[in-house]
Amino acid sequence: MVNLTQASRELFSRSPDERFSSVEELYQHCKLQREGSTDRWQLPQSIRPATNTERLVLALGSDGAFEMNDWSFTQLCQMAGVAKDTINRLSPQTACSALLETLPCADKPVQILTIDSSVRSIHGVSYTRLWNENLLRMIREVATDFQPPPQGFNGATGLYCGEQDLFCFLIDPTGWIDIEGQNFAPGFFVWNSEVGRRSIGITTFWFQECCQNHIVWNCEDVMTVTRKHTRSVGDALTEIRLAISTLVDRRDIARDQFASTIRKAMAEPTGDKEETLHILADHGVNRQLAKRAVDQVASQGQRFTIWSLVDALTQLSRDSQYAATRVEADQRASALLALAA
């Protein structure tokens, strides 16, 4: 088993304005971002750095001048082949001159993504964008029972979207199943960037615990799928849909098997009081605990079945003030339920 720390790294790196309380809220945010964004195709020589009230801006041919955020400024420096740290040490006027002299000329256009009066990203023709809105729409369709994890200690939600990328951490808190005698629930991380900051991908897993730091503990069946933002990036949606569907299908199969076990346990008689005490003794239940469980079933007017005994042991576990008694009652209840599997 492994511990997954991706969500924990996101928790410590995201500012409050990048957090969202629900998938729906995050989806609406990404939908508005897409609707407000425009791809502008320009030849490199028509991209002209300029100064505006002591700030560096980017003039895009006849489209006007746009401000840059940290990511698009980084991409502009990479396009010019000049270190970003070097440009940052210059005055706006000197930085403008340096970029004007180093930006390339070419026959192939550059795709520039803008929103309002700001440049979100700068890419060559080989980059293919996959919108966060499309990714989240698919997740809403497939992962209907999944929700964010319990809120982190600093208010982190597991759902994030900033200028550079998106990250979602979702779990199914009702999807607990038994895997080789231990309880696991399904969950997944999914991520994307509309501006080329990272690939698109998903990691699915079964986990036992998630702490307030959003470290996911004791994970099994960890599977990761990633794709770069090239021409075939649209196939990633099909692959991510399949990964989530596989997770859901396994959960549903386990639930069906569990429901079948419960029905059988409810119908499976254990005999009279003495025969029931013998069965409990054969399965390691000490005589005092067995007698209390049998007496509880009898006092409630129930038949002696595997399920009524499991239920009685579970109640005794919950009501006991002693940890040792709770542990033993839980263990014996699980062992009895296995008789009906």
Across 145-154, 295-304, 314-323, least confident range? 314-323
To the nearest whole percent, how much of the chain has pLDDT over 70? 90
The answer on 203 and 169 residing in a single domain is yes
Q: For residue 323, what pLDDT band results from cuts at 50, 70 and 90? A: very low
Q: For the chain, give the mean pLDDT.
A: 87
122 within a domain of the structure (yes/no): no
Q: For residue 307, what pLDDT band results from cuts at 50, 70 and 90? A: confident
**The pLDDT of residue 309 is above 70:** yes
Last residue of a domain, one of 232, 255, 278: 255
230 within a domain of the structure (yes/no): yes
Q: Which two tokens stand for residue 277?
A: 């005490």
The answer on 311 and 223 residing in a single domain is no
**The pLDDT of residue 138 is above 70:** yes
* Residue of 27, 20, 14, 246 lying closest to 139 (CA atoms): 27
CA 65/CA 67 separation, integer angstroms:
7
Q: Which two tokens stand for residue 163?
A: 């200028």
Question: Which tens digits make up the pLDDT trace of 62-88?
Answer: 888 999 999 999 999 999 999 999 999
**How many domains, the chain?**
3
The answer on 71 and 199 residing in a single domain is no
CA 324/CA 200 separation, integer angstroms:
48
Instruction: Give Cβ neighbours of residue 144 (< 8 Å, ≥ 6 apart).
Output: none
Give the pTM.
0.76
Q: What is the pLDDT of residue 334?
A: 65
Cα Rg of the chain (Å, integer):
29
**The pLDDT of residue 26 is above 90:** yes
Q: What is the pLDDT of residue 341?
A: 61
**The pLDDT of residue 295 is above 70:** yes
Q: For residue 127, what pLDDT band results from cuts at 50, 70 and 90? A: very high
The answer on 300 and 156 residing in a single domain is no
116 within a domain of the structure (yes/no): no
**The pLDDT of residue 308 is above 70:** yes
The answer on 147 and 21 residing in a single domain is yes
The answer on 158 and 10 residing in a single domain is yes
336 within a domain of the structure (yes/no): yes
Average pLDDT over residues 184-204: 95
Q: What is the pLDDT of residue 312?
A: 81
Q: What is the pLDDT of residue 181?
A: 63
119 within a domain of the structure (yes/no): no
261 within a domain of the structure (yes/no): no
Average pLDDT over residues 114-142: 95
Number of Cα atoms under 13 Å in the Cβ half of residue 272: 1
The answer on 215 and 145 residing in a single domain is yes
> Domain containing 101: what range?
44-107
Last residue of a domain, one of 255, 287, 316: 255
Helices (H), the chain: 6-13, 23-36, 70-80, 84-88, 92-102, 132-142, 235-267, 273-282, 287-299, 306-319, 323-337
The answer on 203 and 170 residing in a single domain is yes
The answer on 222 and 182 residing in a single domain is yes
Buried b (16+ CB within 10 A) or exposed e, 195-211: bbbbbbbbbbbbbbebe
Instruction: Give Cβ neighbours of residue 316 (< 8 Å, ≥ 6 apart).
Output: 289, 292, 293, 296, 325, 329
CA 300 centroid distance within chain: 45
The answer on 54 and 13 residing in a single domain is no
Across 35-39, 89-93, 99-103, 258-262, least confident range? 258-262
Across 195-199, 203-207, 283-287, least confident range? 283-287
246 within a domain of the structure (yes/no): yes
75 within a domain of the structure (yes/no): yes
- How does DSSP assign 201-248, residue by residue? EEEEEEESEE-TT--EEEEEEEEEEEE-SSGGGGHHHHHHHHHHHHHH
Q: For residue 4, what pLDDT band results from cuts at 50, 70 and 90? A: very high
* Residue of 127, 126, 161, 130 lying closest to 236 (CA atoms): 130
The answer on 221 and 160 residing in a single domain is yes
Last residue of a domain, one of 233, 255, 277: 255
Average pLDDT over residues 301-325: 72
AA letter at 73: F
The answer on 244 and 139 residing in a single domain is yes
